[in-house]
Amino acid sequence: MINFLSLKSINSQYSNELKDACSRVIDSGWYIMGPELEAFESEFAQYCGTEYAIGVANGLDALVLTIRAWKELGKLNVGDEVIVPANTYIASILAISENGLTPVLVEPDEETLNISPTNIRAAITDKTKAILPVHLYGLICPMPQIMEIAQEFELLVLEDCAQAHGANMDGKKVGSWAHAGAFSFYPGKNLGALGDAGAIVTNDNELANVIRALRNYGSHRKYENQYKGVNSRLDEIQAAMLRVKLKHLDAETARRQQIAAKYLIGLATVEQIKLPTVNNQNEHVWHLFVIQTDCRQDLADHLLNSGVQTLIHYPIAPHAQQAYASEFDGYDLPITERIHSQVLSLPIDPTMSDIDVDFIISSIKQFYKS
Ligand SMILES: *Cc1c(COP(=O)(O)O)cnc(C)c1O
């Protein structure tokens, strides 16, 4: 069986380093808000090319707390509109509604499946105060155009980087383009902890300070609470695991890019599937390799029978989720709905062998021949 993603094979590559780091934390006697977190924050900020990184408990909190901090700073208010891609993972949208702001859904570009600058422009109203682009599947959004629109209309921009650690345009990485970037280190993400974790990166000192307080009960100084904060800290063990994993991230990304290149060449002749598009190798870190097909279920069944596990990201669009009941009733989102009915994610585990990749390619070709 070729699994969709084997966390065990990924982490066992670094087993000794991870165990050493774990022992270091156990023996230190310091488990929350200590030297490992401080070191990880500084190493991750340096990796992203930003001044600051602030560790939090998970990726959703990274998004929620950034918006919350902008509210505390008076830059956003309840009822403001935030433009967000309609075909994102629901977390991006939850972070907006959780803060009492209004998500405004826009359709993606049909080629890249990322948010379309043209559609952003068309969605701007008097109430629009921010844009939340998502680097979906690992592909960086058209950030130069998005930042230009933001400047023109004086909007804040928060990048959802949960799927795109290290993706860049001419060396400028995700998270460093906008006013802030939110990351998830959920175990299955490209940079994954061995549990839940997340971070915000920014060059804005004031924003960083408010988020640092919010993640720790709204307190800058013990027992003095400036804000009604939350408990969303990244603990020492996970910070230590992430310091090990960060050192190997670029090598894992390079392997993902190799596998993607093999798929793109191997499947180029299969007319019945639409392959992902990419202009420049560094722009895509291939969190997911997503194809589009009219006969998704039959192909997925065929692959499973051949011993290949696939997944769907995502089967139900956020606007169609029960959680949002009728909130998005006025929307017409044909592209998003088509995407959700046609996408299929092929395995792109950095520990997969070339033999596995070739096998998946030939199984897909065999399906379309018969
Ligand atoms: C995974 C993910 C998140 C949330 O991260 P968690 O750590 O699971 O809370 C947010 N946005 C996107 C696009 C994601 O893929």
| Cα–Cα distance measured from residue 60 to residue 160, given in angstroms and rounded to the nearest whole number | 10
Per-residue CA distances from 254 to 131, 168, 190, 257 (Å) = 30, 13, 11, 5
Pocket test for ligand 1, best of 63, 89, 137 (most atoms within 8 A of CB): 89
pLDDT of residue 40: 99
CB-based contacts of 255: which residues, under 8 Å, 6+ apart?
350, 351
pLDDT of residue 48: 98
Q: Tell me, in angstroms, the distance from the centre of ligand 1 to residue 133's CA.
A: 13
Q: Spell out which residues line ligand 1, taking CB within 6 angstroms.
A: 58-60, 88-89, 91-92, 134, 160, 162-163, 184, 186, 196, 198
CA atoms within 13 A on the CB side of 39: 16
Q: Tell me, in angstroms, the distance from the centre of ligand 1 to residue 59's CA.
A: 5
pLDDT of residue 81: 98
pTM as predicted: 0.98
pLDDT of residue 281: 87
Q: Which two tokens stand for residue 290?
A: 């997503």
| Cα–Cα distance measured from residue 219 to residue 200, given in angstroms and rounded to the nearest whole number | 18
pLDDT of residue 53: 98
Strands 180-184 and 156-160: parallel
| Cα–Cα distance measured from residue 323 to residue 119, given in angstroms and rounded to the nearest whole number | 25
pLDDT of residue 279: 83
Pocket test for ligand 1, best of 84, 136, 140, 163 (most atoms within 8 A of CB): 163
Q: Tell me, in angstroms, the distance from the centre of ligand 1 to residue 72's CA.
A: 23
Q: Which two tokens stand for residue 101?
A: 């702001």
Pocket test for ligand 1, best of 113, 114, 135, 184 (most atoms within 8 A of CB): 184
Please report the atom of ligand 1 found closest to the CA of residue 136. 13
Please report the atom of ligand 1 found closest to the CA of residue 184. 7
CB-based contacts of 333: which residues, under 8 Å, 6+ apart?
86, 105, 107, 317, 319
Please report the atom of ligand 1 found closest to the CA of residue 88. 13
Please report the atom of ligand 1 found closest to the CA of residue 95. 10
| Cα–Cα distance measured from residue 244 to residue 241, given in angstroms and rounded to the nearest whole number | 5
Per-residue CA distances from 140 to 67, 113, 175, 181 (Å) = 21, 11, 10, 12
Q: What is the mean pLDDT of each run of 10 residues along the chain (370 residues)?
A: 97 98 98 98 98 98 98 98 98 98 97 97 98 98 98 98 97 98 98 98 98 96 94 98 98 98 97 93 96 97 98 95 92 96 98 98 95
The size of the chain, in residues, is 370
